[in-house]
């Protein structure tokens, strides 16, 4: 079909469909196995015929060795633990040590270093820090945090963080959550990755060395119930929901070290309020002004209240005070000792921090401590107890006392 110069040429649909617009012959689609090196029983892992990847294709790089991931040799006597993760190359690895000291009821967490962290800032770097929580029952009271390392993807902390009041029951049931976050002064801090270590993997007085790839945040069961304002605490909302729903599981508000001793000579109970650890912060400055009250219930005459002095601006107060209840041993077996911790406020009601009850109706360590006190007169028994958010019924009306 020809036309004069300058005339517009028209093509009908039949001719248009007949035009060959294919840029060339269609090449066969390669199989995914062509991109991976073949391994077999041969001396070089080549296998049988056709086992080699095509020369024009570059096989994917294999995972780096432990040396490339920055694994170091732990101290003598430390047990090594680690595993690979699909997110390891994207999120990075974290190296740390854990040591449970049964004699002092402490858990020592040595945060050593991280390598290959995911870039979070516009400059391709991050401002990482590490925070720890004990699950279940995670809250601000049991959060520990390292310092922030600026503008690095390979931070070195070498910081020792210590949990006080850790019992064998905690080691059996608790999980240590280690999260690496990026600090952002202009907006919310960003989550990078986390590691969860069941404490039952630890042996008393034996340091365990870890070099583990960070994992992505565990999703919540019902994300629709969250709002944007809760993003900063979403890492432990799931544990708090389980604590509210599960029987006997309450939010932890800290730990308290108590001493119980029944004196046969004085015919009474000696209660020692020694110290508290990891109390919940109730004031805007991030601290509390704690004091402790004790009651021996039932208290018909309302004369069993004792109160310690107030310790200003601290979450780890030391009291070292002792109270005496004159009572026969047979009568004491029917009583319940209520211990509550309060935050002192001027000009308004004091804030309840947490409490624990020791007696025949208690559970776990609280019941055992009370039973041992009755069975071992004249022996001073010191035990750590967990403070929970449950307010004793009779204490609510006495918060300002």
| Token pair of 328 as six digits | 């026969």
Q: What is the pLDDT at residue 80?
A: 58
Q: pTM of the full predicted structure?
A: 0.64
Helix (H) or strand (E) segment spanning residue 14: helix 13-18
- Say yes or no to pLDDT of 30 above 90: no
- Say yes or no to pLDDT of 84 above 50: no
Q: What is the pLDDT at residue 9?
A: 62
Q: What is the pLDDT at residue 383?
A: 94
Q: What is the pLDDT at residue 283?
A: 87
| Residue that is written with structure tokens 């991280």 in the block | 114
Mean pLDDT of 260-280: 94
Q: What is the pLDDT at residue 389?
A: 83
Q: Does a structural domain hold residue 36? A: no
Q: What is the pLDDT at residue 32?
A: 59
CB atoms within 10 A of CB 196: 14
Q: Does a structural domain hold residue 31? A: no
**Co-location of 208 and 297 in the same domain:** no
How would residue 301 be classed by pLDDT, with cut points 50, 70 and 90?
confident
C-alpha count within 13 angstroms, C-beta hemisphere, residue 305: 12
The parent domain of residue 314 ranges over 254-387
The CA distances from residue 244 to 137, 174, 305, in Å, are 9, 17, 30
Q: Does a structural domain hold residue 33? A: no
Question: What is the chain's mean pLDDT, rounded?
Answer: 78
Total domains present in the chain: 2
**CATH number of 172's domain:** 2.60.40.150
d(CA 275, CA 355): 14
Q: Does a structural domain hold residue 264? A: yes
**Co-location of 215 and 288 in the same domain:** no
Percent of the chain having pLDDT more than 70?
Answer: 66
DSSP assignments along 281-325, one per residue: P-STTS---EEEEEEEES-SSS---EE-PPPPS-SS-EEEEEEEE
**Co-location of 214 and 288 in the same domain:** no
| Chain segment 318-338, per-residue pLDDT in tens | 999 999 999 999 999 999 999
Q: Does a structural domain hold residue 191? A: yes
Alpha-carbon Rg of the chain, whole angstroms? 32
- Look at residues 326, 95, 91 and name the one whose alpha carbon lies nearest to residue 216: 91
- Look at residues 216, 96, 209 and name the one whose alpha carbon lies nearest to residue 144: 96
| Residue that is written with structure tokens 């093509």 in the block | 11
């Amino acid at each position: 079909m020809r036309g004069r110069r300058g005339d517009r040429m028209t093509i009908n649909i039949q001719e248009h469909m007949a035009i060959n617009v294919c840029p060339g012959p269609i090449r066969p689609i390669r199989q995914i196995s062509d991109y991976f090196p073949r391994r077999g029983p041969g001396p070089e892992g080549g296998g049988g015929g056709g086992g080699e990847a095509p020369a024009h294709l570059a096989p994917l790089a294999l995972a780096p060795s432990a040396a490339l991931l920055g694994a170091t040799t732990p101290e003598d006597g430390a047990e090594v633990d680690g595993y690979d993760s699909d997110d390891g190359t994207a999120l990075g690895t974290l190296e740390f040590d854990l040591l449970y000291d049964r004699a002092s009821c402490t858990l020592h967490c040595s945060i050593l270093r991280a390598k290959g962290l995911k870039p979070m800032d516009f400059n391709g770097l991050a401002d990482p820090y590490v925070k720890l929580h004990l699950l279940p029952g995670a809250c601000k009271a049991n959060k520990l945090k390292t310092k922030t390392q600026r503008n690095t993807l390979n931070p070195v902390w070498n910081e020792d963080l210590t949990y006080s009041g850790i019992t064998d029951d905690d080691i059996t049931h608790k999980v240590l959550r280690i999260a690496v976050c990026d600090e952002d002064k202009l907006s919310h801090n960003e989550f990078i990755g986390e590691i969860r270590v069941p404490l039952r993997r630890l042996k008393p007085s034996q340091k365990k060395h870890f070099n583990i790839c960070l994992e992505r945040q565990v999703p919540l069961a019902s994300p629709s119930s969250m709002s944007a304002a809760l993003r900063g605490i979403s890492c432990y909302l799931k544990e708090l929901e389980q604590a509210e729903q599960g029987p006997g599981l309450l939010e932890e508000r800290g730990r308290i070290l108590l001493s119980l001793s029944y004196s046969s000579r004085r015919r009474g109970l000696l209660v020692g309020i020694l110290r508290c650890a990891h109390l919940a912060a109730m004031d805007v400055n991030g601290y509390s002004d704690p004091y402790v009250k004790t009651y021996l219930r039932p208290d018909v005459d309302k004369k069993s209240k004792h109160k310690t002095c107030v310790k200003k601006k601290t979450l780890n107060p030391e009291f070292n005070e002792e109270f005496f209840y004159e009572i026969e041993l047979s009568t004491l077996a029917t009583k319940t000792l209520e211990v509550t911790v309060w935050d002192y406020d001027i000009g308004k009601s004091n804030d309840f921090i947490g409490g624990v009850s020791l007696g025949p109706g208690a559970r776990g360590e609280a019941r055992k401590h009370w039973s041992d006190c009755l069975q071992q007169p004249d022996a001073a028994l010191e035990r750590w107890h967990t403070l929970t958010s449950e307010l004793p019924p009779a204490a609510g009306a006495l918060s300002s006392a």
